Each structure stands twice: as structure tokens, then as C-alpha cells.
Structure 1
Amino acid sequence: MPRIALCQLNSGDDAETNLESVRAEVASAAADGARVVVFPEATMVRFGRALAPVAEPLEGPWASAVAELAREHDVLVVAGMFTPAGGGRVHNTLLVTGLGQHLGYHKIHLYDAFGFAESDTVAPGSKLVTFESGGTVFGVATCYDLRFPELFRRLADDGADVLLVPASWGAGEGKREQWELLVRARALDSGCWVLACDQADPAATGLEVNPKAPTGIGHSLVADGFGRVTAALGPSPDRLVVDVDPAGAVQARGATGALANRRLTGGPAGTGGRLS
């Protein structure tokens, strides 16, 4: 039964300063017994600044420093960063490092919505990522991915029981309600645990809010495979440590039949999908 920490923080413009925040949070989470420590999307640097100049490969200094932290504290760390994609764009990458892992997930669904155009500076990924650690199979997704249930069901099909979702959720009317609803819905329709770690709300701590960038609303939460919220935070920087039982995902999928009873498995828009 993995103990997982969600570290809800505010990233700033400087990667080294943000690394110090990661360092402190990893040490505290490990002291609380966490074996998996999750940070938000864009932990390396926040949105709203130029990303290409700070992007580094997974073998670069920033990711290597996080990997060393994971080794030092014997934990697995998941944190949002940016890696070069070519053509002046970056990948919005989740670094997964520690306990024998060092890999990245490039965000598949880009936030071209609500007046934003993430694809102007970010190139989409195309590969799903699952990995095993301590006998539990994890999957990862990022922020806007929450609006696409087929991704979460594919992760469940690939064996995942626990899904980790770092985010930098854009503020606005109804956005908190959408955030909470989508986390619960993705848990329910995949039958997985979904642990969603958002950037803290900068307004909650008196920081400047950038209206041109999605900087976070806080309210990180955990939902089980029945869509029930089992733990949650408020808007301010904070840490949530929870124990999750992967067997609960198996139980949820067996009870709801949400995966086993599917008849439509996708297909082009307007075609009604394909019979499986």
C-alpha cells in the first residue's frame, strides 16, 4: 500500500529557487513516510515566462538534481518540468525519478482552451507512460489531460491502478468545480485512484496573479475508483500524505464494469465509434 505525498506549492520564475522548494518538500514528505512524492505541473518554472531558455533534457542539471534528492531520501519523485522539443518549442514533461526509475511523460493534450494557446510554445507528446514501483502500477497524466477520459481508460488498460496528475489549473469562473468534477469522473470511469496535485493559488498567499497564464487554484485532491473524494487540500501551499490501496481499484472496476462492459472504443468524431 504506497504512501503518497502531494506537495501543493507555488512555482516561481527561477528554476534553482524552485529546486530548493522541491528539496525541502521531499525531505519533509519522506520524514512523513511517503514513498512517492508528487509535485505540480510546471514545478521547474511557472507558466507565464519564456520556457525555451530554461528547458533541459532529462539528463540535464535540474532533473539530475531531483534524481539525486530521490536517491538521498529513497523515494520516487514526480515533478513537472520542460524539456527541449526542437523548433523553438518545448515539451511539457513530467519527470518520474527514483526507486529505479528515470523517465519522462510529455503532455499529450495541450491547453488550447479558455483563451490560452499552449501549443504556441509547447509540442504535444504521443506516448502514454505507466511504470511499476513497489508492486503498484502507476500511470501519469498532466492537467488538461483530465478532460479526455479515453487516456485514463487506456492507462487502466495498461495495468495502472494509481494515476498521478500534476497540474497548473487555470483559474476562472467554474474552474474549481470543473477540476473537482473531472478528477472524480476520471477516477470513476477508469476505476483507478486519481491523485491530482495542483499549483497553489497565488492569490491565497498574496502573490501576483498572472491573468495570461494558468498558475493554479490549489485544491489538490484524491479520488478512489468509485469517484469518492478521500482527501483534499485548500487553496494555499500545503502537503497531503495519503495511503492508497491498489486493491481498491480492482474492486471498483469489478463493481462498476466501467472497463469490462465497454462497447464503443473510440473512432473519428461523428462516426459513433467502433464496436469492440
Structure 2
Amino acid sequence: MKQAVVVAQVPVSWDIEQNLRYVREAIGQSRAGDLILLPEGMLSGYGDDLSPLDDAARAETVTRAADAVAELAERRGVHVFCGSLIRDQDAWWNAALYFGPHGERWHYRKINLAMGERGRLRAGDQLAPVSLGTVTVGVQICRELRFPEQWRHLVDAGAEVLVYLTHAANPAEAAGVWRSHLISRAAENQRFVLACNVAEPLQHCPSMIISPRGEVLAETSSTAVEILRSTIDLDQIGNWYLDQRRDLSHL
């Protein structure tokens, strides 16, 4: 079975209305049935300085923006994964929001927070994929790229495609490392990896579409808006390497 996928690398700021305009433009270029990715913190805004979360009105504005994206996804008949900080239980969380073509909603809350997020955001405690009906998707956010056991857990739980949303713009990171991690996550799990970073001059991780063989099907590190489109063949997914794993508990 084939699935059309779109990775929309766009800027993210603390201006929610501006962020929403980028989302509308990206979804506006979609076709019915597309699976669309947008970066970490896309709706709410995101950055090293999280003090904008002190604005009491921001939570309500984020909620209205999410409702607008949900309506747009339903109208266009598309699947959308979109990053946002969300307010719930008197706390802020770093989340990936899913909006479906029939009004479906789901979210994943980042379980492995960045050091700068700790004490400011609350960590999630659930790691499970979501079924879109035609494909099952596992989601990871930003620094969770460095923890392959989380990706393997999602695959063991049934994920067929691995979606990765990030706001990776740290010049202190060594060039090429995160790109290599993304290719490894695809090849070692024999799953497609769809990765979406922010359009940002300091980015240290490209936006990519990678096959289960580790082949890069599309890639950009542009500082400008860039839309990657591909059609992936889910029949390429397999467990040949996974089935060869050894039981090391006795070692």
C-alpha cells in the first residue's frame, strides 16, 4: 500500500497567528489523503527561552489554533502531525498533535524532556503508536532521537511509520550527527522515518524522508520554507533484522 507524505519545514516563532498562517499555507498545498508533518512547537511557538508561557492568555490562544487546524484537516481530508506546547492539569507539556480527516484527534506528550524544559514543562508517561486506519504511526520529539530504545518500543508496539518533529537549532551540536541518527532509526527498525525540523539558520538536523533501507528519499536544510513530498510504499516495511535479535538476558 502506498501513502503520500508531506514534510513542511517552516519557521516557528512565539507569534501564534503567524505560525497558524504557515500551517494554513502548508495544508493548503495538500491533497486528500496526504500525511503532513509540521515542526515541534509549531502552534504555540518554541525556543530556548520559555518565558512566553507565562502569558496567561497563551493557553487559550493555542487551543483556538488547534481547533482551526483540526477544522482545516477535516476540510482538506488530510492527516496532520503538528507540534505544540499545550496546557493541561495546570502544567505545560511538549506535544505532537494529530488531526485526522474525519475529525479524529490524538496527541503524544514528550517523555524525555530537554534539559532546558525540565522544571518548566511536565514529561509525558505514555509511549504508544496511533492507528490512522490505513497506517500505524509512532511519534518522537527532538532529543528523543538520541534514545533508540524508545523508537524500538514503538515498532514493537506496531508502528509502521516513525514520525519525528523537532526544533533542532543548536550550533554547539556536531554537524551531521542528528542526520546520521535519523538514518539509523530508519534502517535499524526497517521503517520509514519522516522528520520535520524548523526553517532556521542555526538548524543542525535536516528535514528528511527516509526509507526502511536507510535511503534518503528527500531532504532539506534550507533556511527558507521548504515542502518535501514523496509517496512511500508501505510494502517495503519488514522485520527481517528485528527477527534476528538475540536474547541477551543471560549474558
Give the gaps of 5 or more residues in structure 2: none
The equivalent of 1:74 in structure 2 is 77
Equivalents in 2 of 1:84, 1:73: separation in Å? 27
Query: Displaced runs of 4+ in structure 1, greater than 4 A?
Result: none
Cα deviation for residue 146 of structure 1 reads 0.6
Trace 1:220-231 onto structure 2 (pairs within 5 A). Answer: 220-231=207-218
Is 1:51 the counterpart of 2:39? The answer is no
Equivalents in 1 of 2:199, 2:229: separation in Å? 16
Trace 1:21-36 onto structure 2 (pairs within 5 A). Answer: 21-30=22-31, 35-36=34-35
Percent identity of equivalent pairs:
27
SS at match of 2:23: helix
CA contact (8 A) 1:190 1:259 kept: no
Is 1:18 the counterpart of 2:19? The answer is yes
- TM-score normalised by L of structure 2: 0.88
Trace 1:1-276 onto structure 2 (pairs within 5 A). Answer: 1-30=2-31, 35-44=34-43, 45-47=45-47, 48-49=49-50, 50-53=52-55, 54-55=58-59, 60-86=63-89, 89-100=91-102, 101-112=104-115, 117-202=116-201, 216-217=203-204, 219-236=206-223, 237-250=225-238, 253-254=239-240, 257-264=241-248, 274=249
CA contact (8 A) 1:2 1:134 kept: no
Cα deviations across residues 23-79 of structure 1 (Å, max 9, x unaligned)? 11101133xx66111100010112234225323599x31211110010111101111
Cα deviation for residue 150 of structure 1 reads 0.8
SS at match of 2:98: strand
CA RMSD of aligned residues (A): 2.2
Provide the aligned length of Structure 1 versus Structure 2: 243
- The verdict on how the C-alpha distance between 1:177 and 1:56 changes in structure 2, with shifts beyond 3 A counting, is farther
Higher RCO (CA < 8 A, seq sep 6+): 2
- TM-score normalised by L of structure 1: 0.81
The equivalent of 1:209 in structure 2 is none
Cα deviation for residue 218 of structure 1 reads 5.8
Cα deviation for residue 128 of structure 1 reads 1.5
Cα deviation for residue 217 of structure 1 reads 4.2
